[in-house]
Structure 1
Amino acid sequence: MNYLKSVTLAASLLTGSAALAADSLPDAIAAPGETVVLSVHAEGAQVYECKAVADGKLAWSFREPIATLIAEGKTVGRHYAGPNWENVDGSAVTGRAIGNAPGATTSDIAWLKLEVISRRGNGVLSGATTVQRINTSGGQLAGACDKAGLLKSAPYSADYVFLRKG
């Protein structure tokens, strides 16, 4: 996909042209007119739980993410269930998915656009209105589960771009 190269470049910038990022992303997760406030890389795991599904069979169900947020080689925060993102400056946001696009391969979790639904603290994330999860690698869990309640994780990485309107 051609947009992957452009997005990788755009996401690697801590600040930059939101128009470049918006023009490079699939429409479902683009945020035209919004400005990047922070871009970080995440390394972590997507945690799944073995649960009964509608037909009574067991299947892996997404439970929560657990990830370290990194910028310029330094840990700058964490990402966890909610979904929540916390920055070391004390600011934090919770989001709700409002758009998605497939990852580059079937092993990669989807790219997401999330609307910020709550904020805590003062700092770089306090003005964020949108979060994009892009450049995903891994995170999909394959294989059968045979015991309800079992937990299993799938390593993943992604870039998270925090944006604000205006």
Structure 2
Amino acid sequence: MNLNATLLAQIVVFAILWWFTMKFVWPPITKALDERALKVADGLAAADKAKLELASANKRVEEQLVQSRNETARLLADADKRAQAIVEEAKKRAEEEGAKIVAAAKAEVDQLAVQARETLREQVAVLAVKGAEQILKREVNVGVHADLLTRLKMEL
């Protein structure tokens, strides 16, 4: 065998193998690699997008937490204010009720004092009449001396 013929045959076989590989084997491999690279790129883009969405969601959650804390604090402050208002209103009503009770008691005391004075005046008038009767040793007519007794009551 001739070394040149062998070398030439190997070159021809290599060229055919190279052509066959470039025509039928290489395109599916490059297509698979391109698809895989595209999937990896899509996966990385989706991961980046998910990270951004996660950061955005965390930010929204923090904002909602702050808002809910503020709302809770506001509601608690409103409840405290309402409780204070209710307590103040109850105190005011109790003071008004106490004042009414004191005024009613004063009015009752005044009325009882007036009644006591009237009773005392009548008793003094009766005693005065009895005393005058005793002094004069005669009977005094109540009907005749009613005017006298009324004036005497008024003076007392």
Bin of the TM-score, shorter chain as denominator length: under 0.3
Structure holding more helix per residue: 2
- The structure where strand makes up a greater share of residues is 1
Q: Whose radius of gyration is greater, 1 or 2?
A: 2
Q: TM-score, normalised by structure 1?
A: 0.16
